[in-house]
Amino acid sequence: MKSGPDDAIPIAAKLATKPVGLLEFAKLAGRNMLEVIPVETLQNTYVRGPLNIHYFCDPEIITELLVGAGRAFPKAKFTKDIIGSAVGNGLILSEGEKWRKQRHRYSPLFAARNLPLLSRHFAATGLDVAASLAENEGRIDVTQMAPASTLTNISRVIFSGNEEVTAEEIRLGLKNYFEYISNISLFDLMQLPKWIPRRKWLLSKRPVTDMRALARQVIESRRSESRVTPEDFLDLMIAAVEEDYEDIDTTVDNLLTFVVAGHETSANALAWGYYLLALYPEIQTLIREEIREVCPEGPVTFDDVQKMPLLRAHIKETLRLYPSAAFFARDAADALVIKDVTIKKGDALFFPVYSLHRNEKLWDEPNHYRPGRFLNITYPRGQYIPFGDGPRICIGAQYAETEIMVLIASVIRQIEFSMTDVPIPRPVLTFTMRPEGPLILNARAI
Ligand code: HEM
C-alpha cells in the first residue's frame, strides 16, 4: 500500500545509547523509562542488561516466558510498588489463586457478546466528539481530546445514572486520581524501603481515598437498584460478583483497575492514531471511504466496525509503533534455560515491547507506518504483543480495540486531520507511553 506523500517517518523515541548504572537508572526511569532501554534492543533480539536484567525481543523466548515455562512468573516487584497503591490487589497485580479466581470471575464481562452493548456508549461519545470538532474547527491538541473521550466513555459505562454522585464529582475525582498515578515516584523505582516517605504519598494520598470512596458509593447505590437487564459495564460487573462472591474491597480494587488500565492506554492509542492519519493523508482518505461505505451517519455499531479491515489494520499498526504498554516485566521465580539464554532465579525479565515492535531483525522497514502489513498477514507468536500474551494477556484487549475503532470511525467519517508547523513531541514512558507534550493537529469538518 502507498504511504504518505513524502513517506514521512513517524516520530520515534530516543533509547539509551550507553549503559545505564543503578542510580542513573532510577533517575532516568522516573522521568522516561524509554531512556533506560538499550538502543541495541532495536537491532538484537536479546540484550543482557546491567545487574540481573535481561531484555527480550526474541519471539520464541518471549512466548516461552509468557505462555510456556515462565507463564506463572510473578509481575515484577517494582510494578507493584508503582501502581499498587492505586489499584490495590485487583486483577492486574494479584497472583496465584487470588488472581485465578478474579480472572475467572471477570472474563465473561469482556466477552464479545457484551461488546455491542458497550459500543452503544462509545458511539454516543464518538458522535459528541465529532460534533464538537466540527463546531470548533482549527488547531486541536489530541493529547487533551483523546483522554477526554475515553474518560467520557468510562463515565458512561461505569459511573452514569447515579443520582447520589454528580458528574462533576466524578470528573474531578478521576482527574485527580489520574494525575496521581501518572506521577511515578523515583523512590518506587529505586525500591527503597517502604518507611521512606514518597513525595507522591505525601502530596496526594487523598485522590486515592476519595476515588475509592466514590467507587464504593457508586457500586453500592447501583446494587440497591437490582436492575434486571444489564445496561452498562458496572451492571455486568455487579452481576459477575453476585454470581461468584467477592468482598466489596476487592470489587472496588477491580473497578479502579479497569478504570486505570483502560483509560490512558486507549487514550494514547487514539492520540497517536490521529497523528498517523494526519501524517498520511492518502491513507486517511481511504479509511474515511471505508467507514462511509459501512456507516455514513448515525451511531457506529459493533457490527459496523467488523466490516472495516483497513481501520483495524491502522489501529494495529498504531499499536505496533506506539504500544501504550511499551514495557512490562516479570521476576524469574525459577532458573531456566531458553535457547542459549541462562536465566537465574530472581533475575529481572524485561519485555521492551517498543523495541520488539521496531526490531530490525523482525520487521521490514520497522520505523515506517505501513498498515498494509496487517492486512491478511499473520506474524509468529511473540513478535507483536501490544496486549501481552499467555494467561496474563490484557483482559480488555477486545474492549479496547472496539472502543478505539468506534471512536475513530465516528470522528474520521466527518473530520479531516492534517499536520501543522508545531513540532511533534517524542514518546515518553511513565505509567503508559504517551506524547511528551501537546500534539497539535488541524481539524476540519468535511
Ligand atoms: C490500547 C489499550 C490497551 C493496551 C495497549 C493494554 C495493554 C495491556 C498489557 C500489555 C497487559 C499485560 C501486562 C503484563 O503482562 O504484565 C495488560 C493487562 C491488563 N489490562 Fe490492558 N491494555 C489496554 C486496554 C485495557 C482495557 C480497556 C482494560 C479494561 C477495561 C484493560 C485491563 C487490563 C487488565 C485488568 C490487565 C491485567 C490482566 C491480568 O493480569 O489478568 N486493559 N493490558
**Phi and psi angles of residue 401, each rounded to the nearest 5 degrees, phi first:** -60, -40
Pairwise CA distance, residues 187 & 29, whole Å: 11
| Other beta carbons less than 10 A from residue 413's beta carbon | 21
E runs forming strands in 94-175:
138-141
Closest C-alpha among 279, 157, 258 to residue 211? 258
Half-sphere exposure of 62 (CA within 13 A, CB side): 28
Provide the H-helix boundaries in 330-378: 353-356
In a domain, 219, yes or no: yes
Cβ 220 vs Cβ 241: under 8 Å: no
Closest C-alpha among 65, 52, 23 to residue 356? 65
Tally of domains within the chain: 1
Pairing status of strand 341-343 against strand 415-419:
unpaired
In a domain, 130, yes or no: yes
| Best of 394, 398, 405, 432 for a ligand 1 pocket test (most atoms within 8 Å of beta carbon) | 394
Counting atoms of ligand 1 from 1, which one is nearest the CA of 99?
41
**Phi and psi angles of residue 156, each rounded to the nearest 5 degrees, phi first:** -70, -40
186, with CB counted inside 10 A (0-12, 13-18, 19+), is: middle
Cβ 118 vs Cβ 398: under 8 Å: no
Provide the H-helix boundaries in 183-198: 186-190
**Residue nearest to ligand 1 atom 13, measured at CA:** 388
Note the pLDDT of residue 181. 64
Closest C-alpha among 201, 210, 216 to residue 175? 210
**Phi and psi angles of residue 37, each rounded to the nearest 5 degrees, phi first:** -80, 125
Cβ 162 vs Cβ 224: under 8 Å: no
In a domain, 314, yes or no: yes
In a domain, 164, yes or no: yes
**Residue nearest to ligand 1 atom 24, measured at CA:** 262
- How far, in Å, from the CA of 394 to the mean position of ligand 1? 4
In a domain, 17, yes or no: no
Closest C-alpha among 257, 184, 190, 255 to residue 433? 184
For residue 286, give its domain range.
22-445
- The SS3 assignment for 55 reads strand
The helix (H) or strand (E) run that includes residue 416 is strand 415-419
**Residue nearest to ligand 1 atom 39, measured at CA:** 392
- The SS3 assignment for 318 reads helix
In a domain, 292, yes or no: yes
Residue 153 CA to its chain's centroid (Å) = 15
Look up cell 476515588; give the residue.
211
In a domain, 324, yes or no: yes
Mean pLDDT split into 10-residue runs, the chain, 446 residues: 64 90 71 90 94 94 98 87 71 90 89 92 93 94 91 80 63 72 52 46 61 83 80 85 82 85 90 98 98 97 98 98 95 96 95 98 97 95 98 95 97 97 94 92 96
Pairwise CA distance, residues 412 & 291, whole Å: 8
Residues at CB less than 6 angstroms from ligand 1: 75, 91-92, 103, 257-258, 261-262, 265-266, 269, 323-325, 328, 386-388, 392, 394-396, 399-400
Which CATH number fits the domain that encloses residue 322? 1.10.630.10
In a domain, 227, yes or no: yes
